[in-house]
Amino acid sequence: MDFSIPSKLQALLDRARTFVETELYPLEQPFFESGFNAVAEELREKRAKVKAQGMWLPQIAKEHGGLGLSLLEHGLFSAEIGRSPLGHYTFNCQAPDSGNMEILIQYGSPEQKAKYLEPLLAGDIRGCFGMTEPDYPGSNPVWMGTTAVKDGDDYVINGKKWWTTGGDGAAFCVVMTITDPTAPPHFRASQILVPTDTPGFIIETTTPFMGHRGEGWASHSEVRLDNCRVPQANLLRPEGAGFLIAQERLGPGRIHHCMRWIGVCERAFELMCKRAVDRKISPDRPLASRQFVQGWIAESRAEIDAARLMVLHAAWTIDQLGAKAARDQISLIKFTAANTMMRVVDRALQAHGGLGVTDYTPLAVFYRMERAARIYDGTDEVHKLSVAKRILRGYADKSLNI
Ligand SMILES: Cc1cc2nc3c(=O)[nH]c(=O)nc-3n(C[C@H](O)[C@H](O)[C@H](O)COP(=O)(O)OP(=O)(O)OC[C@H]3O[C@@H](n4cnc5c(N)ncnc54)[C@H](O)[C@@H]3O)c2cc1C
């Protein structure tokens, strides 16, 4: 077992870290205080710099203009750029676009690729992904209300979506919708590309999220589809493959998220350690001299390292054997990394005292915005249940109803 990082990859990781620290950290305060649009123009310039420096689209194959990193390599890259909430967007590997790119590469028709994939890869447009619905449980995704009915050469779509991340300003939405209510549950739904300027695609509002509505990519839309008519050519083929395609995006997507969270952990950890040595609690003693704080630091280091190794191992398994073989690992890392992040950010925030709950550091923003990590891409409980059931089946007779 060799844990070393090849020198060429390490050099790329170092360059990414330096870029994030020097170019993106200074944009964080205006982003926190004034919103995404306040930094949108500067981010356009930073994205051009990333392209010029050969770090654009780390997760995408070279033939499509990316760096062609394996999932394991991209995991390491994600942890570097995840240190800033603006990191993934600037390198064009942000959710939900990274997932949309992957499914368009795999399932898009030549026309769909020309119209949606190429400008996405270039960073000229953004997309969004509409699966979750306000009136149905996202935890049971086969049960949904949105329908697409064939009419001539078109589909007519009706339904409601929410938590459509980045819907504000997106050029299109990948809408998950029932196309055959009589099919077995996992074959009822399809994914259809809906340009957001289609009549009947209505963004009703952005959802207030922990006190902020956000804007642009950093927001979540509530969408109504009201007799929204799109050509059948907009289907990601084949019809009924909506869940299969969703699974394709979720396996690698969870590695992306988990390693981004490891990046959040590392940033919070670094801030906690710096604060502990810089902050005096008496004229001759720093905060770092207190055992409470030493305990937080040792526990955080151990938990981050454990989570990091689990995520990298899951990425390695997907690279070597495919997402199906890593099913349990993906569930385990999803809730482990999310909860590790919550604990580490909480300790770092506590170590900062009153400063921790201001927006003068990224800690309060991490605390507020990343709480959702335990909810999206599968809630903690659903991941725990599914992995526990698979484990228990190995101990039980097939007839036992678990
Ligand atoms: C910040 C954020 C971004 C998101 N981005 C997107 C996006 O871009 N596109 C998109 O389509 N969706 C998105 N989502 C939606 C997300 O995927 C759903 O919120 C998630 O799947 C949970 O569904 P729900 O909210 O309907 O909760 P519910 O399904 O109603 O579940 C509520 C709670 O019930 C518990 N629970 C559920 N099932 C079980 C069970 N079987 N056993 C025990 N407990 C259970 C869990 O604790 C769960 O948290 C986003 C959500 C957030 C918060």
Give residue 137 CA to ligand 1 midpoint distance, Å: 7
Q: Answer yes or no: CATH 1.10.510.10 is held by domain 244-393.
A: no
Assigned CATH for 7-122: 1.10.540.10
Question: Per-residue pLDDT averaged across 201-213, rounded?
Answer: 96
Q: What is the pLDDT of residues 125-149, one digit of tens each?
A: 999 999 999 999 999 999 999 999 9
Quick one: pLDDT at residue 402? 86
Question: At a CB cut-off of 8 Å and minimum separation 6, what does 80 contact?
Answer: 13, 16, 17, 20, 87, 263
Q: Where are the domains of the chain?
A: 7-122, 127-236, 244-393
Judged against a pLDDT cut of 90, whether residue 237 lies above it is answered with yes
Q: How far apart are CA 391 and CA 206, in angstroms?
A: 40
Contact 222, 161 (CB under 8 A): yes
163, 192, 383, best to mutate for ligand 1 pocket (most atoms within 8 Å of CB): 163
Quick one: pLDDT at residue 171? 98
Give residue 129 CA to ligand 1 midpoint distance, Å: 14
Question: Per-residue pLDDT averaged across 296-317, rounded?
Answer: 97
Question: Per-residue pLDDT averaged across 241-258, rounded?
Answer: 90
Percent of all residues in the chain with a pLDDT value above 90, rounded to a whole number:
96
Quick one: pLDDT at residue 97? 97
For the chain, what is the largest distance between any 2 Cα atoms, rounded to a whole number of angstroms? Answer: 80
CA 138 to ligand 1: nearest atom: 23
Quick one: pLDDT at residue 287? 98
Question: Per-residue pLDDT averaged across 329-350, rounded?
Answer: 98
Question: At a CB cut-off of 8 Å and minimum separation 6, what does 159 contact?
Answer: 133, 144, 145, 146, 147, 177, 224, 225
Judged against a pLDDT cut of 90, whether residue 249 lies above it is answered with no
Quick one: pLDDT at residue 251? 78
Judged against a pLDDT cut of 90, whether residue 15 lies above it is answered with yes
> Is the CB of residue 375 below 6 angstroms from any atom belonging to ligand 1?
yes
Q: How far apart are CA 59 and CA 69, in angstroms?
A: 6
Pick the CATH number of 127-236 from 3.90.1150.10, 2.40.110.10, 3.40.30.10, 1.20.1250.20: 2.40.110.10
Quick one: pLDDT at residue 250? 81
Q: How far apart are CA 112 and CA 330, in angstroms?
A: 30
Tokens describing residue 98: 């990274």
> Is the CB of residue 138 below 6 angstroms from any atom belonging to ligand 1?
yes
Question: Per-residue pLDDT averaged across 363-383, rounded?
Answer: 97
Judged against a pLDDT cut of 90, whether residue 118 lies above it is answered with yes
> Is the CB of residue 160 below 6 angstroms from any atom belonging to ligand 1?
no
Answer with the residue of higher pLDDT: 250 or 186.
Answer: 186
> Is the CB of residue 137 below 6 angstroms from any atom belonging to ligand 1?
yes
CA 165 to ligand 1: nearest atom: 8
Judged against a pLDDT cut of 90, whether residue 339 lies above it is answered with yes
CA distance between the termini of the chain: 37
Question: Per-residue pLDDT averaged across 358-365, rounded?
Answer: 96
Tokens describing residue 373: 């990590």
Q: How far apart are CA 195 and CA 240, in angstroms?
A: 21
Q: What is the pLDDT of residues 150-175, one digit of tens each?
A: 999 999 999 999 999 999 999 999 99
Judged against a pLDDT cut of 90, whether residue 349 lies above it is answered with yes
Question: Per-residue pLDDT averaged across 353-379, rounded?
Answer: 97
Q: How far apart are CA 305 and CA 284, in angstroms?
A: 32
Q: What is the mean pLDDT of the chain?
A: 96
